[in-house]
Amino acid sequence: MDAVDRPARLAVGVIGAGRVGSALGVALARAGHRVVAASGVSDASRERAAERLGVVTSRPEDVVAQSDLVLLTVPDDALPDLVAGLVGTGADLRGKLVAHTSGAYGLAVLNPAIKAGALPLALHPVMTFTGRDDDLRRLTGISYGVTAPDPLRPVAEALVIEMEGEPVWIEDENRPLYHAALAAAANHMVTLVAESSELLRKVGVDQPGRMLGPLLGAALENVLRLGIAGLTGPVVRGDAATVRKHVDALILAAPEAADAYVALARLTADRALAAGLLKPEAAERLLDALGGNVWT
């Protein structure tokens, strides 16, 4: 990155020094910026501010007063009220970069701050954060969903690159769908694997992780490399009798899991049919096994 593209060294404030805010604060500090202030409500946030960022927490409006770049790293549902509250306190936002890290929100949520003179950015790190030190290592090389006004796009992308990330431009109106895609993949995967592990324990598998790890690793590698063409299993084979056995077993053992299985099997069959991997007659047999017609 050319020197002209690099943001000046910034005084950084973090409002919401939780898992995400503290990790990004560290990444910015490693890039040469200065974390000067942070706010946090919980004991854990205050501890992270002290241990990771080296600052004592203060009020959000005080964080703004000390900062050139203000990171808003609170849960999505808290973001609109936070922005409105900051403006309501009379915090001087003129000329300050104000960046939120929500995936689903675009720039509109920052409108009150924009009207008060703030320079808006949306920088969403595509990573799961646990609060452990592993978070800091995992930041290297990840993607960030970036949205900003055109004049600020180089600044937003430069900040991401400085954090050793890859900026990926997301149009403002596309952020809800962008975030839905990520949540469906990552969050639902956790639920599915946890559910599968519990079912395996019910049939006597002591260490389901050891059984699932190689299988899931191969499946993930296949889909990332081949897309839907990497699909295997009874649905794409058209094994309707096997699918029906699965549904019956799940209805007895875990009815809520049966509902999810049916919904995902229908979606899987739909995608396989559209890709030419599943023949129409096999799809019809699967429909009967799953108890309804979802294709048109």
What are 39-69's pLDDT values in tens digits?
998 888 889 999 999 999 999 999 999 999 9
**Strand bridging mode 119-125 / 97-100:** parallel
CB atoms within 10 A of CB 224: 9
Residue with tokens 């900003």: 148
CA angle 183-185-191, nearest 5°? 85
Q: Is the distance from CB of 70 to CB of 15 less than 8 angstroms?
A: yes
Query: Whole-prediction pTM value?
Result: 0.89
CATH 1.10.1040 fits 177-290, yes or no: yes
22 by Cβ neighbours in 10 Å (0-12 / 13-18 / 19+) ranks as buried
Query: Which homologous superfamily does the CATH classification assign to the domain defined by 11-170?
Result: NAD(P)-binding Rossmann-like Domain (3.40.50.720)
CB atoms within 10 A of CB 68: 18
Q: What is the pLDDT of residue 265?
A: 96
* Rounded Cα gap, residues 66 and 99, in angstroms: 15
Q: What is the pLDDT of residue 4?
A: 40
Helix axes 208-226, 175-202, angle to 10 degrees: 150
Helix axes 280-290, 240-253, angle to 10 degrees: 20
Dump pLDDT digits (tens) for 238-276. 999 999 999 999 999 999 999 999 999 999 999 999 999
pLDDT at 6 over 70: no
Q: What is the pLDDT of residue 5?
A: 53
Q: What is the pLDDT of residue 2?
A: 46
| Amino acid sitting at position 226 | L
Average pLDDT of span 184-195: 96
Q: What is the pLDDT of residue 109?
A: 98
Q: What is the pLDDT of residue 296?
A: 36
Chain centroid to CA 111: 23
Average pLDDT of span 28-37: 96
| Amino acid sitting at position 113 | A
Could you tell me which residues come within 8 angstroms of residue 21 by beta carbon, excluding any fewer than 6 positions away?
14, 15, 38, 40, 45, 48, 71, 73, 101
* Rounded Cα gap, residues 42 and 132, in angstroms: 16
Average confidence score pLDDT of the chain: 94
Q: Where are the domains of the chain?
A: 11-170, 177-290
